[in-house]
Amino acid sequence: MPKLGFSLVELILVIALVGAMMIFVTRFFWLRDPDAPRKQFVVDLNGLVQSCWSDALETGKLHRVYFDLKKKQIRAEIEVEKSKKEGGESKFNIQQGGKSLITWPSNYVIKDFFVSDQNESKNIDKLESIFFYITSDGTQDVIINVANEEDGMTMGLVLNPFAMQFKDYGNFKKP
């Protein structure tokens, strides 16, 4: 009498093959997406901001999201020593654990960087760095306008202070 149906081994093998094919197909379409680098940049930046905020909530210490304009890097820093003078500089170290350093594509250029309605990017060609702070109470209002010099694409990144997430509006934003 012939067996009807499939054995468990045959079913598992077919499911594994279909799963492997889906991984390759999904990756193929992801790589073909012209917005993939842009989306990945926003995801990485949001991960870094979330890591800062989480650490600020745990430690109660001031954090700084530091944009190194020359190296095209963004790093999460934690305050290690408060300034003894009013209005003086505190000392910061790179945050340990979590996402603490990302590099943005060389063709991305920051055009505007607004922190609490102030344009911190005046004379941006002469600046080496720009930053904003995150505390356990929240953060400053931040808007970052980025241009892709290769294809003219623009990003207007606005930080939601309640969710600690940047949203890409696709075009430049002003406060």
User: What pLDDT digit, counting tens, does each position of 25-74 carry?
Assistant: 877 776 677 787 888 899 999 999 999 898 889 989 999 999 999 999 99
Distance CA(54)–CA(136), nearest Å, equals 8
CATH label, 36-168, candidates 1.10.10.10, 1.10.15.40, 3.40.50.720, 3.55.40.10: 3.55.40.10
> How wide is the angle at C-alpha 159 spanned by C-alphas 62 and 110, nearest 5°?
95
From the number of C-beta atoms within 10 Å of its C-beta (0-12, 13-18, 19+), residue 141 rates as: middle
pTM, to two decimals: 0.76
User: What pLDDT digit, counting tens, does each position of 88-109 carry?
Assistant: 678 888 887 767 899 988 899 9
The number of angstroms, rounded, from the C-alpha of 23 to the middle of its chain's C-alpha atoms is 25
User: What pLDDT digit, counting tens, does each position of 142-154 carry?
Assistant: 999 999 988 888 9
Q: Which of 86 and 5 is assigned the larger pLDDT?
A: 5
Q: How far is CA 96 from CA 63, 78, 100, 107, 132, in A?
A: 12, 9, 7, 28, 18
Least confident range from 18-22, 54-58, 83-87: namely 83-87
Cα dihedral sign, 93-51-125-117: negative
Which pLDDT score, from 0 to 100, does residue 30 have? 62
Q: Where are the domains of the chain?
A: 36-168
